[in-house]
Structure 1
Amino acid sequence: MHVNRCTALFVLVTLLCPLPVLAQSPPTVIGSYVQSTTWSDPLEALGTLSADESVTLSATVTETVAEINFQDGQQVERGHLLIRLEDAEEQAQLRAAQALRDERRNASGRADQLQQRNLAARADVEDAQARLRQADADVQALEARLANYRIQAPFSGRVGFRNISVGALVTPGMELVTLDKLNVMKLDFSVPEVFLGRLSPGLALSAKTAAFPDEIFSGQIASIGTRIDPISRSVSVRAELDNPGLRLRPGMLMEVIVQQRVRNALVLPESALEPSGDRHYVMLIHQHDGATRLEQREVSIGERRHGEVEIIEGIAPEDLVVVHGLQLARDGQEVRLLGVVDDDTSIRALLEADR
């Protein structure tokens, strides 16, 4: 009976003096401004690198190596003498031909002087000049032959491994050294023919390789193939990439992203979208008279890429939208704006600062 009286008394006191109701604090949200930026529809492909210029140098004569003037992987300039073959016999023949040319030049000069004084026939002068021209041709032929004994760099580039030594006997067609021009690289890849109308020379692209996973190499389409492969129904495309530091190498596999249909667009993080069926909404943040309230707005979206989405209509540049806290956000609700994310401020940093 005593317990029942206490219980009844507690209920009576509770009814007469209700407990105070604690006011709910507004939910916390983080916002982001709508940005107008350059946007494109990415077209992905796999490509293979090749050097802008590439050649395997070989001998055209049979002779022994007399001199080697490069090291493995050396950067050389155009005209640099890489390999000299033994040419003593050809040099002797050239000196003999030059001496004969000098002799015939002197004879031609004397004949011309005599003819001017009417002491020699015109035919003798012409014969002397013809013999001089023949001697000149012989010298030029020997000089051309001697060029085959000097293997020079046809363009500036980087040489490969040296696999020969001084004294080695080389023969015509024997591969001696490779030379690659690497400051600009060619990137060949294929795309389905349905995208042919979207491609054009000069279109920007980016490429990545597993060798440098944290770096993106930029380039542009240089040319488009003139034929469609009837089996794969694809077209070949060649792009050019800058190669800073000469790190890219011929034969590398590259992941290519072509930036097609480049345009200006409004862009938001995907976390700002609230899908509902086939519709999409965002929560706009309005700050007025010291109060921060939300407005639900339907938007039309375009393409998506890497956590971002293109907004076609429904919002304007510099609108502030919710990107964190949408679970508790409601249309017309008053909220507390914790901060705005940008290039220097992340959602994590704002949440940690609010702890």
Structure 2
Amino acid sequence: MPSSRRFVLSLSLVGLAALGAYAWYANRPPALPPGGARAQAAGVQAVPPAAGTAGAKGAAGAAGGSQGGPVVVETHTVGVRALADDVGAVGSLVSNESVVLRPEVSGRIEAIRFRDGEAVRRGEVLIEFDAAVQRAELQQARASLTLAESNFRRSQDLFSRSFVSRSSLDNARSQLEVARAGVALAQARLARMQIRAPFAGVVGIRSVSPGDFVKDGEAMINLEDIATLKVDFRLPELYLDRVRPGQTVEIASDVLAGERFAATVEAIDPLVDAQGRALRLRASLPNPELRLRPGVFVRVRLILAERADVVMVPEAALVPAPGNTQFVYRVAEGKAQRVEVRTGTRRDAMVEVVEGVQAGEVVVTAGQLKLRDGAAVKLAAGGVARAD
């Protein structure tokens, strides 16, 4: 019995040893090539010689291309163009003439001689009041005038024959003048019973009807002369010495989007607004087709002066620099040259260059972030963009 236990124990030990040997053999690392042990000890993964050599050459080639190759950029040829010095503002349209018609006397409306919104001529009767009393007074005044004229002629005849005194003749003359004044007064009272257009224009929407009793001074209808419009706008006082009558004004309005209208400065208010430190200007705008109306909001562009041969570059060419300065990259002989510039007026994504570059030179408009002074450049597909 003891010999059997020793046999089983020996057999188990042999089996465990065999199992451990098999596990070590299955999990051992692969054999390294010559020099592989040193590479592994240095912490570098060993690769096959052929593959490693090709990868190193590719990496070296890529590094060399990014460091020594030209930078791809987009460019623009600097050009010149005519430029207007201008200033923008906002304003409002005003009628050339505007009035609210009101009666001078109280009365009842007898007739309305116009339609709302129609054009009328100067002197045309718009509203008539009941004038029966005034017509009767005029008739009475004319009768008195006729009698006074007869008395005066009779007195002249009698005075020429020395039948009446000088005082009697003077009295007859005075009565004649009083009668004439009475007729004029009656005519004036009758004329007040009619409302006439003081100028040619377009009437508005009335607020009265025939039969209404209107008090003196009550608003009845507005009349607007809009064949010519006035443009009222304001500018800062620093433009005082640069504005003058006769300058051209460009008008734009959202009412007629995309259209521009030309106006002319007519007057400059001699008084500067002390609150806003602004000048008030008024321009005249022809409106023959009556497309614009008073009260419309407009944007105003006042042209101060015209300049020819102004050097312009795209805004994209400018690169800001410390110290509130700007520069551009100029391309010459395939290399980028950093040039500091001084700018002026901006217009339509273009900038005036007062100093730094000249017409005909080529400047970089895209790719500046990869550039440095003296770097080689290569034009992107499409070549050089020409100046306007």
Fold-level match, TM-score > 0.5? yes
Where 2:207 maps in the other structure, the secondary structure is coil
Whether the aligned pair in 1 keeps the contact of 2:236 and 2:279 (CA below 8 Å) is no
| Matching of residues 251-270 of structure 1 within 5 Å | 251-268=295-312, 270=314
Decide which of 217, 223, 231 is 1:179's aligned counterpart: 223
Decide which moves more: 121-130 or 189-198. 189-198
Give the equivalent residue in structure 1 for 2:273: 228
Tell me, which stretches of 5 or more residues in structure 1 are unaligned? Answer: 1-6, 8-26, 286-292, 343-355
Q: Which has the higher helix share?
A: 2
Counterpart CA distance in 1 for 2:318 and 2:352 is: 14
Q: Give the 3-state SS of the residue equivalent to 1:91 in structure 2.
A: helix
In structure 1, give the amino acid aligned to 2:218. Answer: M
Counterpart for residue 283 of structure 2: 240
Q: Which residue of the partner structure matches residue 351 of structure 2? A: 309
Cα displacement (A) at 1:267: 5.0
| Secondary structure, counterpart of 1:206 in structure 2 | strand
Q: SS state of the match for residue 258, structure 2?
A: strand
Mapped to 1, the partners of 2:201 and 2:104 lie a distance apart of: 22
Residue identity matched to 2:284: L
Deviation of the 1:153 alpha carbon: 1.1
1:112 maps onto 2:156 in alignment: yes
AA of the residue aligned to 2:80: V
- Determine the C-alpha separation between the residues in 1 that align with 2:201 and 2:331: 57
Distance 1:227 1:148 in 2: 41
Give the number of the structure whose alpha-carbon radius of gyration is greater.
2
| In structure 2, C-alpha distance between the alignment counterparts of 1:224 and 1:86, rounded to whole Å | 45
Q: What amino acid is aligned across from residue 218 of structure 1 in structure 2?
A: A
Aligned residue number for residue 98 of structure 2: 54
CA contact (8 A) 2:74 2:367 kept: no
Task: Tell me the equivalent position of 1:350.
Answer: none
Structure 2 residue runs of 5 or longer lacking an equivalent are: 1-49, 51-72, 369-375
- The verdict on how the C-alpha distance between 1:320 and 1:134 changes in structure 2, with shifts beyond 3 A counting, is same
Contact 1:272/1:283, CA 8 A, preserved across alignment: no
Whether contact under 8 Å (1:47, 1:189) holds in the other structure is yes
Q: Is residue 110–residue 130 contact of structure 2 (8 Å, CA) maintained in 1? A: yes
Shift of residue 174, structure 1, vs aligned partner: 1.6
Q: Tell me if the contact between 1:105 and 1:132 (Cα under 8 Å) persists in the aligned partners.
A: yes
Relative distance call for 1:171 and 1:216 in structure 2 (3 A) is same
Give how far 1:179 is off.
0.8
Question: Take 2:149 and 2:329, find their aligned partners in 1: how far apart are those partners?
Answer: 94
Query: Closer, same or farther in 2 for the Cα pair 1:29/1:315, shift >3 Å?
Result: closer
CA 1:194–1:115: 2 relative to 1, 3 Å: same
* 2:93 corresponds to 1:68: no
Q: Deviations over 1:306-341 (max 9, x none)?
A: 22333435677xx5566998769x8999x9989967
Amino acid at match of 1:34: V
1:40 aligns with 2:109: no
Q: In the alignment, is the contact (CA less than 8 A) between 1:196 and 1:235 conserved in 2?
A: no
What is the TM-score normalised by the length of structure 1? 0.71
Give the distance between the partners of 2:116 and 2:236, measured in 1 at CA.
41
Query: What is the rounded CA distance, in whole Å, between the counterparts of 2:160 and 2:280 in structure 1?
Result: 69
In 2: Cα distance, 1:332 partner to 1:324 partner = 11
- Aligned partner of residue 312 in structure 1, secondary structure: strand
Whether the aligned pair in 2 keeps the contact of 1:30 and 1:322 (CA below 8 Å) is yes
CA distances 1:112-133 after superposition (whole Å, capped 9, x unpaired) = 2332343433222211111010
Deviations 1:8-36 (A, max 9, x none): xxxxxxxxxxxxxxxxxxx998868522x
Structure 1 residue 93: Cα displacement: 1.1
Alpha-carbon contact 1:205-1:256 (below 8 Å) kept = yes
Q: Partner residue of 1:84?
A: 128
Cα-Cα RMSD: 3.9
Equivalent residue letter for 1:169: F
Distance 2:383 2:169 in 1: 104
Query: Which segment is superposed worse, 255-264 or 269-278?
Result: 269-278
The number of residues matched between the two structures is 308
How far apart, in 2, do the equivalents of 1:189 and 1:310 lie? 27
Pairwise CA distance, 1:198: 3.5
Identity, % of aligned positions: 28
Change (3 A) 1:276 1:59: closer
Q: 1:116 to 1:85 in 2, by over 3 A?
A: same
| Amino acid aligned to 2:349 | G
Q: 1:50 to 1:137 in 2, by over 3 A?
A: same
What SS does the corresponding residue of 1:215 show, helix, strand or coil? coil
Structure 2: which amino acid aligns with 1:238?
Answer: L
Larger fraction in strand: 1
Q: 1:332 to 1:29 in 2, by over 3 A?
A: closer
Residue 226 of structure 1: CA displacement? 0.7
